[in-house]
Structure 1
Amino acid sequence: MLQTRYEMLQTRYDQLSSNYSQIQSNVSDISVKNSQFRSRYETLSVNHSQLQDEVKQLETRMKEMQCPDGWKRPGCSCYFKSEKENYWFGSRDDCEQSGAHLVVINNEEEQKFVTELSKDGEYWIGLRYGRRQGEYKWQWVDGSPLTETFWASGLPHDYGNFTAVTCCDQQGKWTQRRNDYPKKWICEKEIL
């Protein structure tokens, strides 16, 4: 009887010992997983902080990319259509005081936009006939080359140094005028 009791206790001890070993193994596994989770949490926390910084930077850039009141924005530029009239040089100066320049039309899409913007009359744009490197030629106010043109039929004429361009006639084409004749104007400000 004592033998049987001993065997029962021994069996019980072995089971408890086995259970203890299993629990220790589980605790060790949980400790490793806890350490992994802690490491992941720290990584995610750093990533979250970096993302918050990026969001703040993007918000700042978005605010910088907004057009001022009264300006319109299609694409990467803001455009301002004047309500008053001035000579070409005065119009150019007004745009420059706003941190802009008279509109420079680089492609057909921009031409269509400026045509729509100027549907109530002709507006000065940033193209004029002037002397550059000893010769007279058409030049944009920002110094970019004149690559694509939208002249009205029969234009341009050589009127000398006092000629600038307006947009747009009834057909949405460029016309040329003496730059000492007052007109409204369109400014352009790149935002990117």
Structure 2
Amino acid sequence: MAEGEDEVYENYAWGVFKAANNPPPAAKRGEETVYDSAGHRRFQHLACCLGILCVILLGGIIGVCVHLTNLTRDNKNLADQFGNLKQAYNVSESNNTNLSAGVQELKTRIQELETKTNNLNQKIQDMTTNWNELSISQAQWSIDSYCLGNIDDKCQPCQFGWVEFQSSCYESNDPYWKTWEEAREDCKGENSNLAFAHDSEEKEAINRLGVYGFWIGLRVEDGEWKWVDGSDLIENFWIDPPDPADGHCAVSAQGGGTWSSLNCNETRPWICQKKALMLSV
């Protein structure tokens, strides 16, 4: 190569080398800076979007977990309520069964009571019939006792053996002796009671029959003389004042006078008294 050519080549190579080592022009550097800034911003935007998506996804996951927890709790509550309702239903079924059995038992008892009531009504009806028949028979016997056996075949105010005075009939039971209570029961058996007097005429009638001191219907009750019809003795001078203790009864005076007081458990004859039969003329 010629000397001139060598010099040109060196200058050219040096220029190329320098051109390779020199920085790029300002315009080119600006383009690169703009390019780098836009990419960085896009990366930031993308990262931000990804972050937001992650937050949203995390929130959704948390919400789903909370919702699942609530659903699980609600499901457990519903299961418990269902169990309670089922238990209550079983109890109700058991109570219904027991009530049905109780109702059936009550129906059976009602039927038994109705049967017993019908039987009792039938017995009452039979007893009423028998009582009516007995009453008719007794009434007929009473009428016969007042009317039959008399000399003139006419009914009398008093039965045979009884003494009439005013509107009453009297019967003395002598020589039989009984206690005051036994004597009273005997009088009741003849539809009468022990004799009682509310005026002096009745008192004298009793005394005429009670010659030996007969039981009459007067005794001490609560420290007072009382007649068997429940009335008080008005004429206190007819008998001595009663003993403080009960258990004393009166006997008619022998032939008249003041009545005497004896222990009711002693025995004496007695006088019965009842209403005379009212006869129409």
Name the TM-score, length of structure 2 as normaliser: 0.41
What SS is found at the alignment partner of 2:241? coil
In structure 2, the residue matched to 1:73 is 164
In structure 2, the residue matched to 1:57 is none
More strand per residue: 1
Are the aligned partners of 2:162 and 2:169 in contact in 1 as well (CA < 8 Å)? Answer: yes
Are the aligned partners of 2:225 and 2:242 in contact in 1 as well (CA < 8 Å)? Answer: no
CA shift at 1:123, angstroms?
Answer: 0.3
RCO (CA 8 Å, sep 6+): is it higher in 1 or 2?
1
CA shift at 1:160, angstroms?
Answer: 1.4
What is the correspondence of 1:22-171 to structure 2 with a 5 Å cutoff? Answer: 66-83=157-174, 84-119=176-211, 121-131=212-222, 136-152=223-239, 155-171=240-256
| 2:268 is the alignment partner of 1:183 | yes
Give RMSD over aligned pairs: 2.1
Q: Supply the distance in 1 between the matched residues of 2:183 and 2:226 (Cα, whole angstroms).
A: 16
Q: Max radius of gyration: which structure?
A: 2
| Unaligned ranges ≥5, structure 2 | 1-142, 148-154
Are the aligned partners of 2:208 and 2:255 in contact in 1 as well (CA < 8 Å)? Answer: no
CA shift at 1:150, angstroms?
Answer: 4.6
More helix per residue: 2
CA shift at 1:171, angstroms?
Answer: 4.5
Q: Supply the distance in 1 between the matched residues of 2:236 and 2:221 (Cα, whole angstroms).
A: 17
Q: Supply the distance in 2 between the matched residues of 1:137 and 1:95 (Cα, whole angstroms).
A: 23
Name the TM-score, length of structure 1 as normaliser: 0.59
CA shift at 1:65, angstroms?
Answer: 5.8
Tell me the percent identity.
30
Return closer, same or farther for 1:145/1:94 CA change in 2, 3 Å cut-off: same
Are the aligned partners of 1:79 and 1:186 in contact in 2 as well (CA < 8 Å)? Answer: yes
Partner amino acid, structure 2, of 1:177? L
CA shift at 1:176, angstroms?
Answer: 0.3
Are the aligned partners of 1:130 and 1:137 in contact in 2 as well (CA < 8 Å)? Answer: yes
Q: Which moved more, 1:65-74 or 1:100-109?
A: 65-74
Q: Supply the distance in 2 between the matched residues of 1:76 and 1:179 (Cα, whole angstroms).
A: 28
Partner amino acid, structure 2, of 1:78? C
Q: Supply the distance in 2 between the matched residues of 1:160 and 1:99 (Cα, whole angstroms).
A: 30
Are the aligned partners of 1:150 and 1:174 in contact in 2 as well (CA < 8 Å)? Answer: no
